[in-house]
Chains A and B, each alone.
Chain A
């Protein structure tokens, strides 16, 4: 099937919309409400209108299905005039505080308005006065800045399956809010932050902790250290040459962080390796001693929040292992002051994460003081006048948390925890290493749910990977069914895993996430050590401090408990 876009014939597939075909063929049709990875566009923003042969009216290309022989014009004077008017109306009631807005300089709405040629406020609408919601430690909402495009609602309901926020009210009073409009902190929100990642304005953003970090760096009585999650360097490579690996990027980031005043920079991947050794041991313990199965991973804090707020009955299924961020936080506090003379100064631990839920987790558990998302790094560089793109200086991460195996790096992507766990569990169960290339192909992929069985010696491990919370609800009953006899389930809240996390660069495209996953596979393939238990630092840690996995010391530092946090709107 062929359609014509601006006179050029383009191949189209059955069921594709004109907007999708146009995008694929390199024609950029502006749009706010429709999202690539969400079903049924709302067609509410009207920005994607086009002229189509046979129709006197302008049609929204996000709902116009491609049909053989269809001819559309995407940038005629009539279309451009209409789009500009639509944008002028969209921003008529939008606050004019761009200079002090957190999205200043990174605002999709203002970029789009500029692209469409909005140069003066022809319409001045009434101003909204909704209260700002700063109730949660992870996400802040300013409904006055919302243009009601509905991306956040679509993502929350259709992609993540959480449904914490929706349109409420009607007409000019419409706003996006949790049910009964309280703060996010007492809603069903799990703080995954996917809404913030797709918001075109400053209406939903992460709680900004850059100032806290800047203040700590300036405090002569503070020693400030950072830990960096594996997803962050894999993301920062965007815009850089491919020959520079993830490792180089991590070292550049470490150098830049030290330049702005951090005393030490650690690799959270180290704690990922440690998590695997503990988690695989816990799994084995559960299998051998009749513990609760299947065991679910606990490294994705939005998933942990989902269990605590929506399904507290699943708490016994959650691994008691802390997430790598919290393991690292606890270990840094335990070990760093012994290795380095703090001279009476306080230790401030900052983590750099692809995730907004990590901000909640850090407040909930001890160990980490401030969490910066990948997006907030940009603001940190801005404060100190660092042009990160041109920083070529490198500094290796600091011991004793410097080393990460390929397995630890895989943590940043969907299936990565599973793959790393299989590599270590094989040794624990069968007493021998996985033979040959330790790649576990079944764990990789982009499907929502991937189930497979691994044979380790004489034992069979039934495993499942859930890629995104949205796919969980439909499959949970089956995963829990004793008939399925699953042993271990990895759940990552965000589609693609941490590399597609809610704290990652503003994005509505799946391509970038795919490329980040490829980079993780590549760095794993090139790693000298690819099994978590081979991490020499982890081995030394067990020798010097922890003794063995699941020991008393590791329970004190590396394991946690969970709380039933059901809001009153959730019944089980």
Chain B
């Protein structure tokens, strides 16, 4: 199952110490996209450490994910400006519409929703980032339209469909600054 983990560990055979647990987990996540139970068991085994400890360390850090990333990644900005502009409503709307689990993944595995502190695009708050593209001045209605579009298309998001909302990230960052 955890082929990436096996390869990464095999590469370092004989030179593994417990201190390398976090770098190992990072490398496995980079290769596999997330930390599977099998990967953590493999790490525990290689480091001769109980699985509970590897799991404990992994769950301590926000950087580690425990499920594969969905086809579409939505980052909902929960920074101060977006918060004032009701971004919580957007986040909750996504939870309901996409049937998100605790870990932010939709039950069908298509979407991953992450709440982030600030996307640096405060001037177009409330803002989300969908598959790398920014969409600003959102309302729940606009968000629905965006998701309807995405689902109808079955394709990657097309910022062009929302000319008023979408701009290149660099441009937005300049504006915010």
Q: Are B59 and A170 in contact (CB under 8 A)?
A: yes
Are A157 and B41 in touch, CB under 8 angstroms?
Answer: no
Residues of B within 8 A of A168 (CB): 52, 55-56, 59-60
Given known A168-B59, A170-B59, A170-B60, contact A179–B45 (CB-CB < 8 A): no
Q: Judge whether B54 is part of the interface by a CB distance below 8 angstroms.
A: yes
**B61 to A: closest C-beta gap in Å:** 8
Residues A166 and B41 in contact, CB atoms below 8 Å apart: no
* Count of interface residues, chain B, beta-carbon cutoff 8 Å: 17
Which of B41, B45, B50 gathers most chain A CB within 10 Å?
B50
**Measuring CB to CB, which residues of chain A are less than 8 angstroms from any residue of chain B?**
157, 162-170, 177-181, 187-188, 568-571
Q: Which of B37, B40, B52, B61 contacts A163 (CB 8 A)?
A: B52
Task: Determine if A157 and B60 form an interchain contact, defined as CB atoms under 8 angstroms apart.
Answer: no
Whether A169 contacts B52 by the Cβ 8 Å rule is: no
Q: Which of A167, A180, A188, A570 contacts B37 (CB 8 A)?
A: A180
Contacts of A188 in B (CB 8 A): 50-52
Q: Is B60 within 8 A of A179, CB to CB?
A: no
Provide 9 A-B residue pairs closer than 8 Å at the C-beta atoms, listed in order of the A residue.
Answer: A162-B50, A163-B49, A166-B55, A167-B56, A170-B60, A170-B62, A569-B44, A571-B41, A571-B45
User: Which residue on B lies nearest to A165, using beta carbons?
Assistant: B52
Residue interface bits B40-76, CB-to-A below 8 A is 1, else 0: 1100110001111111100111100000000000000
**What's the nearest-Cβ distance from chain B to residue A366, in Å?**
32
Q: Is the CB of A169 within 8 A of B60?
A: yes
Residues of the A chain whose Cβ atoms lie less than 8 Å from the Cβ of B41: 568-569, 571
Contact of A164 among B52, B54, B59 (CB under 8 A): B52
CB distance from A56 to the nearest CB of B (A): 31
Q: In whole Å, how far is B93's beta carbon from the nearest beta carbon of chain A?
A: 24
B50 and A164 form a contact (CB under 8 A): yes
Interface SS majority for chain B? helix
Instruction: Given contacts A163-B52, A188-B52, list 12 more A-B pairs with CB under 8 A.
Output: A163-B53, A164-B50, A166-B50, A167-B60, A170-B60, A170-B62, A177-B52, A179-B40, A180-B40, A180-B55, A188-B50, A570-B51
Distance of A569 Cα from B53 Cα, bound (Å): 12
Give complex CA distance A178, B37 in Å.
13
Q: Which residue of A lies closest to B62 (CB)?
A: A170
- Inter-chain contacts of B55 with A (CB < 8 A): 166, 168, 179-181
Cβ distance A332 to chain B, nearest Cβ, rounded Å: 38
Most buried by A among B40, B41, B49, B52: B52
Contacts of B49 in A (CB 8 A): 163
- A19, B51: Cα distance in complex, Å: 32
Q: Specify which chain A residues have a CB less than 8 angstroms from the CB of B44 in the assembled complex.
A: 179, 569
Across the A-B interface, the 8 shortest Cβ-Cβ residue pairs: A163-B50, A179-B51, A166-B56, A166-B52, A179-B55, A179-B52, A569-B51, A168-B59
Contacts A168-B59, A569-B41, A571-B41 hold; do A157 and B51 have CB atoms under 8 A apart?
A: no
In the complex, chain A residues whose CB is within 8 Å of the CB of B50: 157, 162-164, 166, 179, 188
Inter-chain contacts of A569 with B (CB < 8 A): 37, 41, 44, 51
Complex-state Cα separation, A178 to B41, whole angstroms: 13
CA distance A158 to B41 in the complex (A): 20
Q: Which residue of B lies closest to A161 (CB)?
A: B50
Q: Report B-chain residues with C-beta under 8 Å of the C-beta of A167.
A: 56, 60
B59 near A157: Cβ-Cβ < 8 Å: no
Q: Which residues on the A side are within 8 Å of B54 (C-beta)? A: 179
Cβ–Cβ contact B53 & A166, under 8 A: yes
Task: List the B side residues contacting A571 at CB < 8 Å.
Answer: 41, 45
The chain A residue with its CB closest to the CB of B55 is A179
Q: Would A157 and B53 count as touching, CB distance under 8 A?
A: yes
Cα(A162)–Cα(B56), bound, Å: 15
A167 to B44, CA, bound (A): 16
The chain A residue with its CB closest to the CB of B53 is A166
The CA of A568 and the CA of B49, in the complex, are separated in Å by: 15
Closest to A177 in B: B52
Interface contact A180-B51, CB-CB below 8 Å: yes
A169 closest partner in B (C-beta)? B59
